[in-house]
Structure 1
């Protein structure tokens, strides 16, 4: 697949088959991630690959975060929440948690480290698309909760930036119309 075509045709695919993904493919995606641009070659990214029972780490973190918000639940309600949260960790056969390990407390350097890690995530998404895999980048409030950092053994100077769910697509992605670049571009000659 030509690179420009891959960028234009890539879509987030949330519905994937539970068919295992070969380790070689996941390793190839992680290798692509490490080619992301990063200021002064800081390479701030960290990857946590979850497959099979390893996804339970994520499900447990989701469950604990949900329980923290709903402290007055009965046993049956708690069981339902636990089941629902564990299912989030089983949406795909492979989930890659992507984190940044900051090199300093300087906010500019931290912003650059985040940007580099976001670029690494994009490389994973493009690589997955090129391999015929479906992938979606998920984030949200749980990513920034201390319990999520604890799940992956991260310290105070680390941050989870997203989860990439990877598998074989259940169906072909539906093309979506994008706003033309002309509408968001100002030329300054």
Structure 2
């Protein structure tokens, strides 16, 4: 699959089974992520990998956050089992650094670009995934339990694995509906 075809057919797949990328394949995903735009060479990213039994540890973190928020027992249980929906979850963190010319938002967008690059690399190898965020990404308790610093921000949880089912093709969109040429 060439790059243009990959980009024009990008899609998420929430139905994932083993295997997930491993070894050199996983390293390729990280290398793709590290090619994200990076103004001033700040490398504002961290990738926290949860696979196998470690997914339960992430589930415990999410369940503790749900409990602290006063969620129902069903919601707490759902949070605990969320990371088990894929054989691997990579938490992508913007490691924001103070910089006079590179604002926080730009560093967070850079981490988001890294996440998408990793998902696209996975898809190019026959894997797939889904980028999930939700309130957990902004919860300070989740940040604390994952060992993040005060300035850090989770930009997403990338669930990865082998597609269990073929997803329906996304509808084509007319670019003209989203493009405006200034002054015309």
Aligned twin of 1:161: 155
Counterpart position of 2:31: 31
3-state SS in 1 of match to 2:49: strand
Alignment partners' CA distance in 2, 1:112 and 1:81? 33
Instruction: Note the residue ranges of structure 1 that are not aligned, 5 or more in a row.
Output: none
CA apart distance, 1:154: 0.4
Query: What is the 5 A alignment of 1:16-165?
Result: 16-70=16-70, 78=73, 80-104=74-98, 109-165=103-159
TM-score (norm 2): 0.91
Superposed CA offset, 1:55-105 (max 9, x none): 12220121011112327x7xxxx4x55432221010101100000111117
**1-side partners of 2:98 and 2:129: how far apart?**
31
Please give the per-residue CA displacement for 1:143-178, whole angstroms capped at 9, x wherever unaligned: 100111122200111111100000000111211114
Q: CA RMSD in A?
A: 1.9
How far apart in 1 are the matches of 2:95 and 2:160? 23
Distance 1:178 1:108, change over 3 A: farther
- CA–CA distance in structure 2, aligned partners of residues 183 and 56 of structure 1: 43
My pick for the range that moved more, 143-152 or 158-167, is 143-152
- What number of residue pairs does the alignment pair up? 183
**Mapped contact 1:97–1:164 kept (Cα < 8 A):** yes
**Structure 1 position 25, deviation (Å):** 1.5
Distance in 1 (CA, whole Å) between partners of 2:105 and 2:134 is 18
Would the aligned equivalents of 2:129 and 2:160 in 1 still touch at CA under 8 Å?
yes
Do the aligned partners of 1:138 and 1:165 also contact (CA within 8 Å) in 2?
yes
Compute the TM-score of the two structures, normalised by the length of structure 1.
0.89
